[in-house]
């Protein structure tokens, strides 16, 4: 890999900024100053920039507890994005794996690993996603059975069988539920609940495949995945 590409991918600066810095002697490889942007390096080399080590990371995996009010996008002209929340990412090419609505909270995986993202989002893999919701309206055992069998939600969506659990006795006209779905269509949870004659008041994703939201993460907080969590995702 070219030295300028290595440093750019590690977030040192733009390609042009990195090239200028290399020519000024800011980069050293294995203790020797490298002044050519095209100088070849690999992950085993010891690279520094202005005396600070720059370790190469090919892929990065970050668990975010997405708060309401931010959008699941890499950039947006009007709203803050989930990437705006991550201040110390090693990679600058992260993207959210799937989407959560702007008002939805909970688990969101950020990575630059396109292969893994495809595995998790591909319809043929049917990766389970679990949500907690507060619902306006009384959910019943008839709803549980209907969701279990799968049903035509609207003209555009026929939902696969899903697992609906009523978490508490409905108080007044409000219920708490947990819903496991095996696909990820646009506004799917809200549309399924609406088709049952109720309305989602609050929605939070708890898990995606084997990856479970860390209870220690407050909305807006994040952490890197452990090696065990990464391995579990690839085994999904």
- Enumerate the active-site residues: 101
Q: Which two tokens stand for residue 82?
A: 């989930």
- Calculate ∠ Cα 46-52-54, nearest 5°: 45
Asked whether 223 and 63 are in contact (CB, 8 A), the reply is yes
What is d(CA 106, CA 150) in angstroms, rounded to the nearest whole number?
Answer: 25
What is d(CA 80, CA 72) in angstroms, rounded to the nearest whole number?
Answer: 9
Helices assigned H by DSSP within 50-197: 114-121, 141-149, 188-195
For residue 224, list its beta bridge partners.
Answer: 62
For 74-99, give one letter per residue: b (16+ CB within 10 A) or e.
Answer: eeeeeeeebbebeeebbbeebbbbbb
Packing angle, helices 114-121 and 227-235, rounded to 10: 50
């Amino acid at each position: 890999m070219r030295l300028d590409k290595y440093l750019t991918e590690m977030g040192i600066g733009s390609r042009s900024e990195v090239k200028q810095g290399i020519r000024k002697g800011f980069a050293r490889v294995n203790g020797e100053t490298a002044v050519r942007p095209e100088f070849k390096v690999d992950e085993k080399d010891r690279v520094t920039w202005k005396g600070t080590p720059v370790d190469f990371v090919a892929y990065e995996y970050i668990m975010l507890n997405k708060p309401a009010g931010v959008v699941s996008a890499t950039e947006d002209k009007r709203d803050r994005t989930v990437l705006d929340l991550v201040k110390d990412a090693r990679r600058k090419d992260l993207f959210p794996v799937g989407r959560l609505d702007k008002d939805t909270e909970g688990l969101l995986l950020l990575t630059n690993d396109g292969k893994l993202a495809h595995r998790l989002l591909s319809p043929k893999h049917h990766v389970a996603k679990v949500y907690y919701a507060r619902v306006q309206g009384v959910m019943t055992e008839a709803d549980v059975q209907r969701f279990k069998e799968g049903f035509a939600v609207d003209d555009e969506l026929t939902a696969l069988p899903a697992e609906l659990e009523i978490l508490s006795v409905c108080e007044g006209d409000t219920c708490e539920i947990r819903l496991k779905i095996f696909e990820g269509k646009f506004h799917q949870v809200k549309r399924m609940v609406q088709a049952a004659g109720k309305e989602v008041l609050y929605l939070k994703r708890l898990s995606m495949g084997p990856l479970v939201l860390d209870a220690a993460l407050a909305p807006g907080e994040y952490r890197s995945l452990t090696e065990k969590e990464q391995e579990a995702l690839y085994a999904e």
